[in-house]
Amino acid sequence: MNKYTHGRTCVYNINYHIVWCVKYRRKVLSQKISERLYELCHEIAKAKGFTVVEVKVGENDHVHCFVSAPPKISITQIVKYLKGISGNRLLEEFPELRKSLWKGHLWNGSYFVETIGSTSEDYIRRYIERQKNAQL
């Protein structure tokens, strides 16, 4: 990935490490669901104007996502897009998820985010790549 992105009016290098969990930490993110989640995250990012560099499921109950975004998109918008759209689509496409979850929510309402400087970018990539995606 190029260190700097050239926008129309600015040059930037804004990266985030975002982590969010399944509601009640249920271990419902099987291999099949995880693969679909990866596709959805990339589709959402492309449609909304940011980039998902890496995304992995850890321990079948949480998601690590490395995002690069322009300064015009806030981190709250990014998280809202990723969690909101992916959660709704996964619940539609995999109705069996509702057996472990109720009230129509796949994701916990909170999330963790940290900014990533260029010096720690490789470390975060390796960390996300090492996340286990054990099957249920």
Rg, the chain, Cα only: 15
- CB-based burial of residue 106 (10 Å sphere; 0-12 exposed, 13-18 middle, 19+ buried)? buried
Q: Using alpha carbons only, give the angle 63, 65, 68 rounded to the nearest 5 degrees.
A: 165
Between helix 31-48 and helix 75-93 the angle, nearest 10°, is 140
Active-site position among 24, 38, 123, 127: 127
Q: Does the annotation mark 123 as catalytic? A: no
> Which residues have a catalytic role annotated?
127
